[in-house]
Amino acid sequence: MSLAPHIAYLGVDTGGTFTDFVLFYEQQVRSYKCLSTPDHPEQAILTGIRALGLTELIAVGHLVVVHGSTVATNAALEGKGVRTAFITNRGFGDMLTIGRQTRSALYDLRPAPKLEPVPANLCLETGGRIGADGRLIDDLTTNDIAALQEQIRTLKPDAVAINLLFSFIDDRFEKAIAEAMPEAVFVSRSSQVLPEYKEYERGMATWLNAWLGPKVASYLGRLQAELKTTPLSIMQSSGGTTDAANAGQRAVNLLLSGPAGGLAAVKHLADSLPRPRLMSFDMGGTSSDVALIHGEIKLTNEGKIGPYPVAVPMVDMHTIGAGGGSIAYVDEGGMLRVGPESAGADPGPACYNKGGRKATVTDANMVLGRLPASAKLGGAMPLDINAARSAVDALAQQLHLSIEEAAAGIIAIANEHMIRALRVISVQRGYDPAEFSLCCFGGAGGLHVCALAEALGCTEIIVPNYGGVFSALGMLLAPKERQLSRTLNTKLAAVSSDAVLGHLHNLALTGRAQLQSEGIDDAEITEQPSVDLCYSGQSYTLNLPWQASLTALEEAFHHAHEQRYGHRLTLPVQLVNIRQALRATTSIPPLPNLAPRPLGHAIDHCPVFIAKAYCATPRYVRDELASGQRILGPALISETVATTWLAEGWQATVNAQGHLLIRKLNRQSPASQPKA
């Protein structure tokens, strides 16, 4: 997708605490950050647009907005979807309640009862059932349709989810039911949302799409109305964008909208440096997201949001409730705990001076001097060191520790949460963290990254330019995309290569038509076919790119299975699903190199608590650093939207694009002096 001259491109990432902006206009990049407005997310977006002086560009139609939305995520986590009826075949009304009959705690003999996703009175049963071979088992009659219409009139739901058995083979009955629903009701059918096998996972995805759809469509409608004719694209969980109209109908595809933007930026960074092996660490105000890049962004169809499985493609990442706003407390046993509860944007950490009284990770960093007392949030909002000390002191007294010891304890526990998360996506999947560079971004990431790298054995850290608003930057770098799939479920040996290619071609035609409807030229669209394979009898699959031959594909699967699980089997290989990813890349030019400038010098020396005492520590302004400049830790590197704590034993080098490449110093050789 080519960029037009004189058009401004704005990436917007709405998080739980902050809304981040990155503006690309006339070969210049600007960033901005403001507090989110959770009840009306569009208000924070409009605040940023005004602050960046873009109102006139909206009036003349010279602004394009790409947005990562948390509306679907927050509604799902808070259980605030709309009243939704679930329609399935006779005898399967309790499908979503029964699920896979798994227990969250295997040895808990008295588990708390689970809240059923859909109340029994909203689970409706009808005909239109076909078998696994496509044979008709129970026809959908006119009486069935009339009965459903009467039930819908009585129940008055806001949305309807339709999930008939094996509808991915034949969707005519789902279409007939959808056409019979009232126009005012939001309708979601499984053959459109997720045309794959596993009726429970398909049903959950369809129900989530219907349950969240009206809220997402309403929000995007309000935002589009404020933006007038400004083109609005939305980031999907898979790392690509779609237009707002399609996004309003595909709420289930937006559940990792914001974090996916961060991974899009990480992928761009990995390609440009180049660093094909990266572990990404995104620490915001409310949560931290970690992922692993090994060549390409890895997708999964085994994701979860809260208690719900989400089988649509999404970036494969691990999320924990540990962010700058995570609240520290003393539990009933007298132990210090951190998170997952967050102070959010309102009232926020105590140091925001907005009424928050509970100590957070941000307050602890401020007490230790890693967040300077003179810092201003987003370059405008002053922080209150006294409020931070007061909040941490309340905990210190309960623990019979000094304020600094309590603050260090909060940081250590938060770090351990994040180290554990990084090991989940590396060590537990057969990868050695020491072989990867650790890329940290998010407003709070730079304050913790040296400790995390030390614990994981990483010898290189990358703190990218614009790291404090990296997910918003990723919105502009992400391609326009469609992810399409279909279940075949056949022995690999029983199918021909031409037959599979025919199915993949049909998926590609559908995706191309959808992208062309958004104004994308067909020549700009690329295809990435892949397949889900498993050994016969297994329930879980591995996704692999399509190979030149079925023999090569089978051998690639054996190798991938051995890499993931440590062994290969002699069982037949099953071809379960085919997938087609269609993308049109955005032609954002490379980020501009730093302009020639003198070496940046420390603007002051801040008292930072190191070991057991406060030490005068040099602080640099990142925007004043020159290409090639080296800084030796301990040091603070401040920018408008983030701060990096460069610990002792680490050295940062500024590269031509302004990225900080931080390396572990060899303790046996004399430390080189900073070029400042």
Which pLDDT belongs to residue 33? 86
In the 8-state DSSP scheme, what is residue 360? B
Q: Going by C-beta distance under 8 Å and a sequence separation of 6 or more, which residues neighbour residue 282?
A: 259, 262, 288, 289, 290, 440, 441, 442, 445, 470, 471
Give residue-wise pLDDT tens across range 487-513: 999 999 999 999 999 999 999 999 999
Write out the two tokens for 398. Answer: 């309960």
Q: What is the mean pLDDT of residues 167-194?
A: 96
Give the model confidence (pLDDT) of 40-63 as tens digits.
899 999 999 999 999 999 988 899
What's the first-to-final CA gap in the chain, in angstroms?
42
Contact, 366 vs 307, CB < 8 A? no
The whole-number average pLDDT for the span 84-104 is 91
Give the Cα separation of 286 and 37 in Å (integer): 14
- Whether 674 has a pLDDT exceeding 50, the answer reads no
What amino acid is encoded at 505 in this protein? H
SS3 356: coil
Query: What DSSP letter does each residue of 424-447 carry, written as one string?
Result: HTTGGGT--GGGSEEEEESTTGGG
Residue 604: the pLDDT is 93
C-beta neighbour count of 532 within 10 angstroms: 22
- pLDDT for residue 356 is more than 80: yes
Given a cut of 70, whether residue 671 has pLDDT beyond it is no
Structure confidence by residue, pLDDT tens digits, 626-658: 999 999 999 999 988 789 999 999 999 999 999
Any idea which architecture 8-76+217-254 has in CATH?
Answer: 2-Layer Sandwich (3.30)
In the predicted model, is pLDDT for residue 151 greater than 50?
yes
Residue in the structure block whose two tokens are 């554990």: 420
With a cut of 80, say whether residue 308 has pLDDT above it: yes
What per-residue string of b and e applies to 117-156 under the rule 16 or more CB within 10 Å gives b?
A: bbeeebbbbbbbbbeeeeeeebebeeebbeebeebbeeee
Q: In the CATH hierarchy, which top-level class contains the domain 480-584? A: alpha beta
Tokens matching residue 487 = 């279940």
Q: Which two tokens stand for residue 58?
A: 């909206």
What are the extents of the domains in the chain? 8-76+217-254, 326-414, 480-584, 604-664
Equal CATH topology for 8-76+217-254 and 480-584: no
Residue 675 has pLDDT above 70, yes or no: no
**How many degrees, rounded to 5, is the angle at CA 116 between CA 112 and CA 120?**
135
pLDDT digit string, tens, across residues 138-149: 999 999 999 999
**Share of residues in the chain with pLDDT > 70 (%):** 97
Asked whether residue 4 carries a pLDDT value surpassing 70, the answer given is no
Q: Which of 135, 96, 89, 92 is nearest to 114 (CA)?
A: 96
Poorest-pLDDT segment among 32-41, 235-244, 337-346: 337-346
Average pLDDT taken over every residue of the chain: 90
Cα three-residue angle 61-216-247, rounded to 5 degrees: 60
Tell me the pTM. 0.84
Pairing state between β 635-639 and 613-621:
parallel
Give the three-class secondary structure for 163.
Answer: coil
Q: Using alpha carbons, select from 568, 569, 560 the residue that is nearest to residue 531.
A: 560
How far is it, in rounded angstroms, from Cα 392 to Cα 637? 24
Instruction: Give me the sign of the Cα torsion angle 326, 358, 353, 415.
Output: negative
Is the separation of the CB atoms in 386 and 363 below 8 Å? no
Residue 3 pLDDT > 80, yes or no? no
Alpha helical stretches, state H, 376-525: 385-399, 403-424, 449-456, 470-477, 497-516
